Amino acid sequence: MPKIHDLDTPSILIDAARAEANIARAQAHADRNGLKLRPHIKTHKLPYWAKKQVAAGAVGITCQKIGEAEVMADAGLADIFLPYNILGRAKLERLKALHGRVTLSVTADSRDTLEGLAATFTDTGHPLSVLVECDTGMGRCGVQSADEAVALAKVIDKAGGLSFGGLMTYPAAGRAAEAEAWLAGAKRALAASGLACDRVSSGGTPDMWRSADTSVVTEYRPGTYIYLDRYQVAKGVGTLDDCALTVLATVVSHPTPNRAILDSGSKALSSDTLGLKDFGELLGVPGALVTGLSEEHGTVTLSDNAGLRIGERVRVVPDHCCVVTNLFNEVTLIDGETILETMPVAARGLMG
């Protein structure tokens, strides 16, 4: 069997057992709390893991782009949620084609989006499920009030080719209670208007772990939980020992005792720190942090006496695993030091 030693660098390693354990742990939590899990595949972009997530008990998957959904549908995933405003002739036609192949649901937060959807799906025979996206504090997409949510739900309900599918939000980090109150209020307002709301979809790996069965939320869309990263560890979701994704890098320079340079820069580790101070940390080298990145160089600051050898390989836990997999053409699944399989990141780099 080939070993990690046989790989060139930089490479992405996925500890398969850890990823499987992370899937099982989240599914068990969801089951205990009566929540549906609909994992977001943006993190891995691999049919391999999407199938494992569904096999473990997920009700379906979440994709952020039509291109991702098409790859997953091609691979046999049958229930896909696309929580995005789909606009424009080309994407609407692709959406319509997908609707004929899988159980599909989408979101909208404006009449403009609904007009395009309604015009496209009017003649399909079975309506497209559309959830209303709600801005519960994050300040990204979403209607700004329960009244707006009700108004859009009515538009959906009246459109021939569409059916009102519920509410969707991505809550602001650390403000799940605020989101909960917002959604509960909107659900009451919908009920007062005679509109049933059986599905309330929320997102985010950290929030999922704080959820309980008293929540108005019926499904979660965690993405990062499968691999985890430094940001999730900082949020208390797991430990470094739970992180399934690491970047295998080579020490290419060691100009001073406290500075080593890796062959992994912003085109491998990404500049996306999600607000953390550094860009990654080295496994098994206490205190060794990636403190700077240029495109193909990662600067490691070492504590005294922690010198690395030039040519040595190290494994880096990045801050944000989702944007790291998006930078590579392929990832390698491992079991300890053994390579199980190298597979293309099938759903990356796709337009739309």
**What single DSSP character describes residue 95?**
H
Q: Does 246 bind its own copies (CB under 8 A)?
A: no
- Please choose, out of 97-105, 139-147, 150-158, 190-198, the segment that lies near its own copies by the rule CB under 8 A: 139-147
- Taking the complex as a whole, the smallest distance from the CB of residue 91 to its own copies amounts, in Å, to 7
Nearer to its own copies, 140 or 210 (CB): 140
**Residue 119, SS3 per DSSP:** helix
- Taking the complex as a whole, the smallest distance from the CB of residue 348 to its own copies amounts, in Å, to 8
- Please choose, out of 105-113, 194-202, 205-213, 282-290, the segment that lies near its own copies by the rule CB under 8 A: 105-113
- Taking the complex as a whole, the smallest distance from the CB of residue 168 to its own copies amounts, in Å, to 13
Distance CA 123, CA 51 (A): 31
Distance CA 287, CA 281 (A): 8
Nearer to its own copies, 45 or 218 (CB): 45
**DSSP string computed for 129-194:** EEEEEB-SSS-SSSBSSHHHHHHHHHHHHHSTTEEEEEEE--PPTT-HHHHHHHHHHHHHHHHHTT
Measuring CA to CA, how many Å separate 233 from each of 85, 206, 241, 243, 280? 31, 10, 10, 8, 12
177 CB-near residues (< 8 Å, 6+ apart): none
Question: Contact with its own copies (CB under 8 A): which of 35, 118, 141, 189?
Answer: 141
Nearer to its own copies, 42 or 52 (CB): 42
Nearer to its own copies, 229 or 263 (CB): 263
What residues numbered 60-99 form the site for its own copies, per CB under 8 A? 64-65, 84-85, 87-88, 90-91
Question: Contact with its own copies (CB under 8 A): which of 254, 288, 308, 314?
Answer: 254
Distance CA 226, CA 223 (A): 7
Q: Does 11 bind its own copies (CB under 8 A)?
A: yes
Q: Of 300, 282, 265, nearest to 230 (Cα)?
A: 282
- Taking the complex as a whole, the smallest distance from the CB of residue 87 to its own copies amounts, in Å, to 5
Q: Does 180 bind its own copies (CB under 8 A)?
A: no
Q: Exposure string (b/e) for 138-157, b if CB count within 10 Å is 16 or more?
A: beebbbeebebbbebbebbb
Q: Which residues bind its own copies (CB under 8 A)?
A: 8-11, 42, 64-65, 84-85, 87-88, 90-91, 109-110, 112-113, 116, 133, 135, 139-144, 250, 252-256, 259, 261, 263, 266-267, 270-273, 292, 294-297, 299, 309-311, 322-323, 326-329, 349-352
